[in-house]
Amino acid sequence: MKEQLNSIRMQAEQELSNVGTITELENLRVKYLGKKGELTTVLRGMGSLSPEERPVIGQLANEIREALEAKIDKAKEELSKKERLNKLEKEVIDVTMPGKRKMLGKKHPLSIVLDEIKEVFLGMGYEIAEGPEVELDYYNFEALNIPKNHPARDVQDTFYINENILLRTQTSPVQIRVMENKKPPIKIICPGRVYRSDAVDATHSPIFHQVEGLVVDKGVTMGDLVGTLKLFAKSLFGEKTEIRLRPHHFPFTEPSAEVDVSCWNCGGSGCRVCKNEGWIEILGAGMVHPKVLEVCGIDPEVYSGFAFGLGVERTAMGRFNIDDMRLLYENDIRFLRQF
């Protein structure tokens, strides 16, 4: 039995010196020291030994087991060190390899213009208001002094959810919602999406954007409106820009005007961009109609106000010389990259 033990020892040590991985090492441990391992099997047969031999063999077996265990542990430590080093070496980053270029997006021209508009009015102390795009007929038309069958409804045909609910055709209903909830002084702009049942072409889209403005306080005059719009036009289109008001009709303002700015391309002398007019229309405006104030519970004898509404698409197309509105919605990166 002694010889058997010694030969197991020699064989185990021999195999140990050839082990290259931790898995192999683990297999070796099981082969010799495991429950069904060779050393264990020999020790099981000790029952057949004489009482004198038993402690001698027992001691030898234990020595061999301890020696093997120590060697295996040491080999394991060395192997895991080696494996870690290998891994680190493999993971070295080659900083000279060519990189992958990140595609950076750009701000959409509508967002650029919208942000500029917001900045101008926030600078003048305006707050930003919002209203629903799915709107009641009452707010979109009735309360704005556009009763059923009023001809102003013709040019603002829209998508109806039912008889009383529609997709808003303008941001003007937000005027009513704000005045219902807040007493003057009121100074807001409302940027937002609006809808009309228009066919798509170079200057029309069934979905587009407007910015509404509303100021209500004691003693607000048409002079305040003109001064505000002048500052706005100069901030957006350049210091030399002039504005011009032409009498017009909107049901919710009185008096009302269409507002032109001097052409950003030729400065007013006439060119292709302004169709030789020297002026380009950018918005509608006026003094808030007394009936509209009244509907919102604001006394027109005490308060007055002005309002304006401008199209964001039209402004952006002017600012960037874009001649087809559809380009703004196609999201072609080659187009958007230019701004």
User: Closest Cα partner for 8 from 35, 44, 32?
Assistant: 32
Minimum distance of ligand DAH from residue 307's CB (angstroms): 3
* Piece in contact with ligand DAH (CB under 6 A), picked from 101-109, 111-119, 176-184, 282-290: 282-290
Which residues, other chains included, contact 287 with Cβ-Cβ below 8 Å and sequence gap of 6+?
Answer: 220, 222, 225, 253, 254, 255, 304, 305, 306, 307
Minimum distance of ligand DAH from residue 284's CB (angstroms): 3
Q: Identify whether 147 is preceded by a cis peptide bond (ω within 30 of 0).
A: no
Minimum distance of ligand DAH from residue 147's CB (angstroms): 16
> Judged by CB, which is closer to ligand DAH: 72, or 178?
178
CA–CA separation, 59 and 41 (whole Å) = 16
User: Closest Cα partner for 214 from 182, 169, 168, 249?
Assistant: 182
Minimum distance of ligand DAH from residue 224's CB (angstroms): 13
Mask of contacts with ligand DAH, 296-315, x by CB under 6 A? -----------xxx------
Among 173, 184, 286, 318, binds ligand DAH (CB under 6 A): 286
Contacts 24+ apart (CB under 8 A), 50-58: 53/1, 57/1, 57/2, 57/5
Residues numbered 75 to 134 that lie near ligand DAH (CB under 6 A) are none
> Judged by CB, which is closer to ligand DAH: 145, or 241?
145
Q: How many other C-beta atoms lie within 10 A of the C-beta of residue 122?
A: 12
Mask of contacts with ligand DAH, 181-220, x by CB under 6 A? -------------------------------x--------
* Piece in contact with ligand DAH (CB under 6 A), picked from 36-44, 62-70, 125-133, 278-286: 278-286
User: Closest Cα partner for 133 from 190, 62, 77, 51?
Assistant: 190
Among 205, 228, 253, 304, binds ligand DAH (CB under 6 A): 253
CA–CA separation, 216 and 253 (whole Å) = 13
Name the residue with tokens 């009309």: 196
Rule CB under 6 A: which residues touch ligand DAH?
Answer: 170, 172, 212, 250, 253, 284-286, 307-309
